Amino acid sequence: MTVAADVKNIDGMLLIPAGCELKERQINILQAWGVTEVEIESTVESEAAADPFAKIPPELLASMTAELKALFWQPDETSPVYTEILRLMLLRRVKGPTPK
């Protein structure tokens, strides 16, 4: 991973410069300073790999979603809890069976 923007402490001291590749040493520095988030450069390949739904044809994804929605009795599609449960079920279906 490559840092997209300079990481500074609360006093403005530079901890990790933009463009720096994060390795164990840099991660340890961030942890020592209590930094919990940094901006990371992304690539099209990494975004596609991070989104398992991107590999599925839209028609199949819609079919799988409809199939899973049918399992619920009177779902509240405005509920964030319902939305997250449906997303996790769909993710599990896309990834396939878990190994035993």
Residue-wise pLDDT for 3-60, tens only, equals 999 999 888 899 999 999 888 888 888 899 888 888 888 765 555 567 788 888 889 9
Q: What pTM, to 2 d.p., does this model score?
A: 0.46
Residue-wise pLDDT for 59-89, tens only, equals 999 999 999 999 988 888 899 999 999 999 9
How close are the terminal C-alpha atoms of the chain, in Å?
Answer: 32
Q: In the predicted model, is pLDDT for residue 99 greater than 80?
A: no
Q: In the predicted model, is pLDDT for residue 98 greater than 60?
A: no
The pLDDT value given to residue 44: 54
The pLDDT value given to residue 45: 56
**Residue 1 CB-density burial (10 A; 0-12 exposed, 13-18 middle, 19+ buried):** middle
The pLDDT value given to residue 47: 54
